[in-house]
């Protein structure tokens, strides 16, 4: 009920061909193919240019990481503030 069968796809393809025409549809698919080729060429050019840009002596050297100390430290002693005198105590 919810899936597309082969017949649905074929009917859809015929409707698309009728709407756009064979020549126009062919041109669109040719443009898509040119775009894919251009994309692949750009990706391969980028992969080839990458080793030239970063030579081993130019690569950033990362210093070795020091381990993180996670041992618990003794808690600081809790200091209670001295008892303050209230204004009533000062008047007496």
In the 3-class helix/strand/coil scheme, how is the chain assigned residue by residue? Answer: CCCCCHHHHHHHHHHHHHHHCHHHHHHHHHHHHHHHHHHHHHHHHHHHHHHHHCCCCCCCCCCCCCCCCCCCCCCCCCCCCCCCCCHHHHHC
Would you give per-residue pLDDT tens digits along the chain (92 residues)?
578 889 999 999 888 888 877 777 778 888 999 999 999 988 887 766 555 555 555 566 777 788 888 888 887 777 787 777 666 555 55
**How confident is the model at residue 34, as a pLDDT?**
93
Q: What is the pLDDT of residue 36?
A: 92
């Amino acid at each position: 009920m919810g899936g597309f069968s082969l017949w649905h796809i074929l009917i859809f393809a015929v409707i698309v061909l009728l709407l756009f025409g064979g020549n126009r549809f062919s041109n669109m698919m040719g443009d898509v193919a040119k775009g894919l080729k251009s994309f692949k060429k750009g990706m391969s050019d980028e992969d080839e240019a990458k080793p030239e840009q970063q030579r081993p002596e130019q690569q950033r050297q990362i210093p070795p990481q020091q381990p993180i100390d996670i041992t618990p430290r003794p808690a600081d002693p809790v200091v209670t503030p001295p008892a303050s005198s209230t204004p009533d105590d000062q008047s007496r």
